Amino acid sequence: MELQCKVQTYDWGKVGSESTVAKLVASGDQNFVVESSTPYAELWMGTHPNGPSLIIERGILLSEYLKDNHDAIGPVVKNKFGITVPFLLKVLSIRKALSIQAHPNKEHAETLHKKYPDMYKDPNHKPELAVALTPFEALCGFRILPEIKKYLSQLPELTQILAKESVNALLSLDDAEDGSGLLKQVFHDLMVCEKQVIASSLKNFLSRLEKEAPETQSSLLYPLIKRLHDDFPGDVGCWAPFFMNYMQLRPGQAIFLKANLPHAYLSGDCVECMACSDNVVRAGLTPKHIDVPTLVGMLDYSPYSPEQLLFNPKIEDENSCIWRPPVPDFALVKIRVEDQDEPYNTIIRPSPSLIIITSGRGEVCDTLPVPARPGVVVFLKASRQLTLTPAEGDHLEAYQAICNV
């Protein structure tokens, strides 16, 4: 069943036809007009109430259809999650940084929702998987201790606004020692620092670095910090890259964002799959509310290298690979079929699927064929199979979100 899906025009999105979201939607829906000044940030596929998908042929929401068609969910998913699609599939097109944030685990989400329902809208956790469609930048997880120490020793503008004892204690640690407790203290000091002090320290850093040689600028992340500061002047999050890994993903590479792992998407386009939730605890690079006590208390301060944070798929067959995160809510399959291949029948899953065509031309068929082109989104019932047939001389590439059951 072909779906009409919700576009979100958040301020940080790529504008007009620069946006992969806009290009996909315009390709999938001939009536969609791309406005040159509108930021097309996200395409939502699923049943989340903030952006529910519509079954085009029936003219009803997918969530309404499922209420009367439990077979579409399947008994395995129904027993685990009830009558719902427990995941949300998205495409993101990012022009400037999304907030530095983390997502609570399930138990913590339930507590936060109970205490602050206006701020934390649902009781669900929100693990996420992002697969790059274009070159993609992100901050993810805290750096290894030697890297943080190296930066702190070269950044007087940063260290002078932090508690001296905490910084000195962190710098004096042996590289092999566990620095998570001291890192938590230093990060807390940064987050509670007065706004004008943060703004002044960043201004001093940027003034010093603009006079330095290109090699020094590069080693101290000057181009990145300046770009963040241009978009979010004086924001505490501009200091975050010295504590967090700066990831530059190639198309096809992925990161999995488990509970409590700090992260921020900075630029590029990606396919994202997540548990069906909107729970976010923010730390910076945002005009929105920053919940410092909740954030500092929940973060995972473990050190990670960029290699540890890359999340690799497993090959399923010659046309598909799957990213299976350690949560039951979702997994993501990438399918690619060339015109010289046989028509491809998707693997039968005990789960409903959301499938988006991201490139190529052809047709997809369950019982009735649907023309397949970039931006076409279909819902596939549990335990059903979809056939992908590329047009002659072309290919089809698609992403399929399923439950990880």
- Residues facing residue 204 across a β-bridge: none
Please name the residue that has the structure tokens 């809208």: 121
Angle in degrees, CA 134, 231, 229, rounded to 5: 110
Distance of CA 196 to the CA centre of its chain: 31
Cβ pair 276, 84 in contact under 8 A: yes
The two three-digit tokens of residue 365, written as one number: 């068929």
The two three-digit tokens of residue 381, written as one number: 């019932």
92: amino acid identity, one letter: L
Closest Cα partner for 369 from 343, 351, 332, 348?
343
User: What is the full DSSP assignment across 188-234?
Assistant: HHHHTS-HHHHHHHHHHHHHHHTTS-HHHHHHTTHHHHHHHHHHSTT
CA separation (Å) from 256 to 142, 244, 272? 14, 15, 10
Active site residue 282: yes
User: What is d(CA 151, CA 153) in angstroms, rounded to the nearest whole number?
Assistant: 5
Q: Which residue out of 58, 227, 250, 282 is catalytically annotated?
A: 282
The residues carrying an active-site annotation are 282
